[in-house]
Amino acid sequence: MSVHQVNCKNLASIKDLDKRRIAVEWSSRSKRVYSFKILCHDRSGLLMDISTAIANANANVLDMSLHVDEKGMVNSSFKVQMADEKQLNLMLESVKSIKDIISINYA
């Protein structure tokens, strides 16, 4: 398979061009990777709430780790892929509004 620009002069020599033509496009925006840490109180459903906020921001989780200490505090780190820093900030605001979140540090 070969991809040609619409104005490529080689298209004129291709037999059955109309039957073989497929429209293609590339995203003009590449996604970026961001890391952040969350400190919060442990509770049932916490990970689901955080994951939902991330998913609602159209972000993809690339890496995640959670540790609950003996006092019930959760130290977590996330690496996500998303369009831009504006989208990241909206997602972080959404996560901050979740019950039991104490702090978020964007690295």
Q: Report the CATH number at residue 98.
A: 3.30.70.260
* Res. 4 pLDDT band, cuts 50 70 90: low
**Nearest in space to 29 (alpha carbons), one of 77, 98, 87:** 87
> What is the tens place of the pLDDT at every residue in 21-70?
776 665 556 789 999 999 999 999 999 999 999 999 999 999 999 999 99
Say how many C-beta atoms besides its own lie within 10 A of residue 32's C-beta: 13
Cα R_g (the chain), whole angstroms: 22
Query: Which residues, 6 or more positions from 93, have their beta carbon under 8 angstroms from its beta carbon?
Result: none
Residue span of the structural domain in which 50 resides: 32-106
Q: Whole-number mean pLDDT of the chain?
A: 88
Asked if residue 50 belongs to a domain, the reply is yes
Flag whether pLDDT at 1 surpasses 90: no
pTM, two decimals, is: 0.70
| Structural domains counted in the chain | 1
Q: Residue 106: what pLDDT?
A: 87
